Amino acid sequence: MTQSLMSPSVLRKDVSLRSSIHYQGRKAARAKSEQRRRLILEAALRIVAREGIRGVKHRAVAREAGVPLASTTYYFKDISELITDAFMLFAENSQRKFELFYGELHNCISKYDLDAVQTDRAMRRSLAEELIELGVRYVHAQVRFRRDELLSEKAFLLESLRDESLKMLARKYRAVWQAGLVDLLRSLKTPSPEMDAEIIMGTVANLVYNGLLYDGEIQEDILRSIWSRMIYLLMNI
């Protein structure tokens, strides 16, 4: 019988980002007000991607959002609160991407009998090749189509090292990625799922960084070789 990697909800409740997302700025009472507040936060995210955290200023955000300066100071008492809520919006958007990504992993793995995979080398290799292909596509998609989001992510995570108000969310953000990988690796019965997840996360972070550094240019053969070596080692092929 085919084993399911995860339930349709994909992520366990204890590692969902939702419980850690708490907006600090003034709450919007009407739909139009909420729309304006979101416009401001989305503008802040664009500035973070373009200029980094230090580029987030009330006047700059208001100009980017196309709203009066008074709107940013109405919803957010200071820059720290605006930056924190922008990270909250980023995390909220990321939760949906986590679910889509792990849903794709689920669809890939659910086609296999994972007990049989342990004893059938040909089946194990077939699954490994699918995971390698998925990994290659993932890195390509990140550096080609999510450049601004990745730049925002790196800016927020770096800022969390300095800002205690961001640190807990940054830790949870990382924990969600890790927990999904640990679930996957446990289902594949790798030798040490927690440490193996760290290897994958570190490798992917480096591949994505290099992709951004070279403006989305990735050598396909090298990328595939790295994924192949990593997956083969983890799956004992």
Mean pLDDT of 202-223: 91
Residue 12: the pLDDT is 54
Whether 20 has a pLDDT exceeding 80, the answer reads no
User: Which amino acid is residue 227, in one-letter code?
Assistant: W
Are residues 113 and 170 both part of a single domain?
yes
Are residues 70 and 185 both part of a single domain?
no
Are residues 17 and 36 both part of a single domain?
no
CA distances (Å), 50 to each of 47, 53, 143, 146, 177, in order?
A: 5, 9, 15, 13, 25
pLDDT tens, position by position, 168-192:
889 988 998 898 899 889 999 998 9
Q: How far apart are CA 97 and CA 141, in angstroms?
A: 12
Tell me which residue of 220, 182, 20 sits closest to 102, measured CA to CA. 182
Tell me which residue of 230, 229, 204, 231 sits closest to 218, measured CA to CA. 204
Query: Two tokens at 28?
Result: 């919007």
Mean pLDDT of 31-48: 92
Are residues 175 and 125 both part of a single domain?
yes
pLDDT-derived band at 8, boundaries 50, 70, 90:
very low
Residue pair 47/56 in contact by the 8 Å Cβ criterion: yes
Are residues 104 and 207 both part of a single domain?
yes
CA distances (Å), 235 to each of 63, 109, 182, 230, in order?
A: 52, 13, 14, 9
CA distances (Å), 14 to each of 8, 180, 200, in order?
A: 15, 11, 22
Q: Is residue 199 part of a domain?
A: yes
Are residues 54 and 149 both part of a single domain?
no
Are residues 41 and 93 both part of a single domain?
no
Largest Cα span, the chain = 66
Tell me which residue of 107, 143, 126 sits closest to 231, measured CA to CA. 126
pLDDT tens, position by position, 75-120:
999 999 999 999 999 988 888 888 888 888 888 999 999 999 999 9
Domain count, the chain: 2
- Which one-letter DSSP state was computed for residue 3? P
Query: Two tokens at 138?
Result: 């993932």
What sign has the CA pseudo-torsion 214, 215, 217, 218? Answer: positive
Are residues 17 and 132 both part of a single domain?
yes
Residue 95: the pLDDT is 82
Residue pair 84/165 in contact by the 8 Å Cβ criterion: yes
Query: Two tokens at 3?
Result: 């084993």
What residues make up the domain containing 59?
A: 26-76
| Mean pLDDT, the chain, whole residue set | 88
Q: Is residue 82 part of a domain?
A: no
Are residues 134 and 160 both part of a single domain?
yes
